[in-house]
Chains A and B, each alone.
Chain A
């Protein structure tokens, strides 16, 4: 069975500082990996997916299969980045994932002015 671990429940940084939210996973196949964000009083929304290799709102995440990690990074944090961040994995067996997500415990990021 797959597992996603976010070791930090809380993370506080000052505005302009770099931020890294850690995510480690265990899965024997080729996973689909995502970062979701939940801003205060808003619904959960997709931030990044590993397949896209894109930067969204200044955030990037690289899949490291050797270390089974998918850490989320941003070089200069902004106050509006304060939110709950979830790393999530969807198993992909032979190209079929069915959309079943396994979430990490979540990390609350607070960016202080």
Chain B
């Protein structure tokens, strides 16, 4: 199993551009999440999904959209990139039930100029 796969690993955008960060998992996990990691702030939840067709906002959702058309995929869309969105983005998935750990991807390092 590949686990959680994120693409691309690195990306540079200009302010105002849009792009999609891809995330796929092959563990048949119901729950998937997107986090951003910023120095001194830990990881913060952007959006999450509890199953295909169901998404909800996390702590810092503004400027991002998500959809969950299949169990495997959970793409994150930046609608109009801003320098404040420069960050490292992590996708995670986990199975249902209590106290189950999250499985993380390698991350996408995104720079907005």
CA distance A21 to B94 in the complex (A): 25
| Total number of residue pairs linking A and B with CB closer than 8 Å | 66
B43 CB to nearest chain A CB (Å): 4
Which of these binds chain A: B10-18, B19-27, B75-83, B104-112?
Answer: B104-112
Q: Contact: B33 with A101, CB < 8 Å?
A: yes
Q: Give the residues in chain A near B90, CB-CB below 8 Å.
A: 43-44
With both beta carbons as reference points, the residue of chain A lying nearest to B95 in the complex is identified as A99
Contact of B48 among A44, A99, A105, A106 (CB under 8 A): A99
B36 CB to nearest chain A CB (Å): 11
Contact of B99 among A49, A100, A103 (CB under 8 A): A49
CA distance A44 to B27 in the complex (A): 17
Which of A98, A99, A104, A105 counts the most B-chain CB atoms under 10 A from its CB?
A99
CA distance A50 to B100 in the complex (A): 11
Q: Give the residues in chain B near A101, CB-CB below 8 Å.
A: 33, 35, 43, 45, 92, 102
With both beta carbons as reference points, the residue of chain A lying nearest to B50 in the complex is identified as A98
* A65 CB–B CB distance under 8 Å: no
Interface majority SS (helix, strand, loop, mixed), chain A = loop
B6 CB to nearest chain A CB (Å): 9
Task: Knowing A44-B90, A98-B50 are in contact, say whether A106-B102 is a contact too (CB < 8 A).
Answer: no
Contact of A86 among B31, B33, B42, B92 (CB under 8 A): B42
**Chain B, interface size: which category?**
20 to 34
Task: Knowing A9-B40, A44-B90, A45-B104 are in contact, say whether A98-B31 is a contact too (CB < 8 A).
Answer: yes
Contact of A99 among B41, B44, B100, B107 (CB under 8 A): B100
Task: Knowing A99-B48, A105-B41 are in contact, say whether A34-B104 is a contact too (CB < 8 A).
Answer: no
Q: Contact: B42 with A100, CB < 8 Å?
A: no
Q: Give the residues in chain A near B94, CB-CB below 8 Å.
A: 99
* A46 CB–B CB distance under 8 Å: yes
Q: Give the residues in chain B near A92, CB-CB below 8 Å.
A: 98
Q: Give the residues in chain A near B104, CB-CB below 8 Å.
A: 43-45
Residues of A in contact with B (beta carbons under 8 Å apart): 4, 6, 9, 32, 34, 36, 43-46, 49-52, 86, 88, 90, 92, 95-106
Lowest 10 CB-CB distances: which A-B pairs, in order?
A103-B42, A46-B101, A99-B31, A51-B99, A44-B104, A103-B43, A99-B94, A105-B42, A32-B99, A43-B106
